[in-house]
Structure 1
Amino acid sequence: MTQHLSALLILLSGSVAMADGTLYKWVDEAGKVHYSDAAPLQNQKQGVAELSRQGVIRKPAESEQARRQREASEALHKQEQQRQLDSARYDKGLLESYRSVGELKADREKQLSILQASLDAQYSRLKGLNLQLRDMLKEQDTNQKLHRPAAPALQHNIQVIQQEQKGLGALISTKQAELNSVRQKMQEDINRYQQLSRGAQ
């Protein structure tokens, strides 16, 4: 009796496993429909659907193009969710870091003054280089008019200053862009802080 009961249980468990199993359905390039217990070894252009043993679709067939579009849409959705999360965190940081618009403005103006001081120092250095180069070029011009031989040291110094001017010009452009960015961000933060403060009242 016990042996018959064990055999019956094995048969029943096998039937349940078959009932819960997955069927795969796909259409090949010739338009022929296939059903199988195992997924096809090769990729199918129209995709492969997954069905229950009762024929209920668990996962619809998806072409390669449709899959790419879905993944792209999901990626954009995820990016938007992350953007909203980052925005919420930033808003919270604004409210927790400053007690008033005046305090926020004072902090940003301090940052601006530091950047402006650095930019002014670069402009001052560039002005000094311009004066040095002007004098060297004047000396070079005088030598040429008097038919004096070119001084190697003078030529070298002119090239060094011109190279430094070029590097300094690029640095000034970067600093100016940074200053403009901080100034713009300051105004955006002030406007946002005012909106959040009104909403919290």
Structure 2
Amino acid sequence: MLRGLSTFFILALLTASASAKLYRWVDETGRVQYSDKPPVTTPTSGVTELNKSGIVKTTPAPVLSKEEKDKIQNEQAQQKEQQRKDRALLQSFSKPEEIDLIRDRRIGVVESAIAANAIRMQNATPRKTRIETQIARHKKANRVVPADLAADLVSVQKEVFDIEEDNRNKKKDIENIKAKAEEDKKRLLELKSSK
């Protein structure tokens, strides 16, 4: 009876030690620590679980810095956005020529706005010339330039500047539309060929 009881205790101890876990980590001072219990605070290097032979059973996931986490999140967001764009491209177009049609329509709208600006400029330019001539006559006669005439000149100069600036922006818009269409056509062909 006594012998059977001692055998039971020995077997129980062996079973307990076989199933016991061993943990390894590096503490804040840089020293490697071992214990049968995980540390209370999470070390920066993570906690490695070892089996009874001291072989690594599970390796901790690396602890990432805020910058690394942000970078991963940004990459995932960009990947998700690219997938959304790819789906939209495949749903919207079946061949590159359709992209060309949309491109030409968009360019046509911008060119119409440039044509409207040309008409505005045809009206503003002679008005500006007339006001400048009147101001020059006042100055030549050594008369004070009326305030409303000076204000008209400032107004018409601003209008001319705004029209020219708008035309420059519209020309950039046309270049962007063309570049986007080429990019979309290239991507559409890549997506179609990968299917």
TM-score bracket, shorter-length normalisation: 0.5 to 0.7
Match of 1:176, SS state, is helix
Output the CA distance in 1 between the equivalents of 2:129 and 2:149: 12
Contact 2:89-2:184 within 8 A present in 1 as well: no
- Larger mean CA deviation between 67-76 and 174-183 belongs to 67-76
1:131 to 121, 126, 134: 126
Q: What's the CA shift for 1:141?
A: 0.7
Structure 1 residues not aligned, in runs of 5+: 1-11
Tell me what 2:9 maps to. none
Tell me what 1:88 maps to. 86
Structure 2 residues not aligned, in runs of 5+: 1-11
Output the CA distance in 1 between the equivalents of 2:126 and 2:116: 16
C-alpha spacing 1:183/1:84, structure 2 compared with 1 (3 Å) = closer
Q: Which entry has the higher C-alpha Rg, 1 or 2?
A: 2
Aligned ranges 1:1-201 → 2 under 5 Å:
23=23, 25-29=25-29, 31-34=30-33, 35=35, 37-40=38-41, 47-51=45-49, 56=56, 58-60=58-60, 62=62, 67=65, 71=69, 74-75=72-73, 77-79=75-77, 81-82=79-80, 84-96=82-94, 102-190=97-185, 199=193
Q: Between Structure 1 and Structure 2, how many residues are aligned?
A: 176
Question: Partner letter of residue 128 of structure 2?
Answer: L
Contact 2:90-2:188 within 8 A present in 1 as well: no
Q: What does the per-residue CA deviation read over 1:173-194, in whole Å, with 9 as the maximum and x for residues that have no partner? A: 2222112211233344455556
Output the CA distance in 2 between the equivalents of 1:181 and 1:95: 19
Q: What's the CA shift for 1:140?
A: 0.5
Contact 2:24-2:32 within 8 A present in 1 as well: no
Output the CA distance in 2 between the equivalents of 1:60 and 1:192: 40
TM-score by length of 1: 0.63
C-alpha spacing 1:200/1:171, structure 2 compared with 1 (3 Å) = same
C-alpha spacing 1:166/1:39, structure 2 compared with 1 (3 Å) = farther
Output the CA distance in 2 between the equivalents of 1:194 and 1:25: 51
Contact 1:24-1:38 within 8 A present in 2 as well: no
Contact 1:20-1:52 within 8 A present in 2 as well: no
Contact 2:93-2:99 within 8 A present in 1 as well: no
Q: What's the CA shift for 1:86?
A: 3.3
Q: What does the per-residue CA deviation read over 1:140-172, in whole Å, with 9 as the maximum and x for residues that have no partner? A: 111110112211110111111222333333322
- The alignment-based identity, stated in percent, is 14
Match of 1:25, SS state, is strand
Q: What's the CA shift for 1:107?
A: 3.5
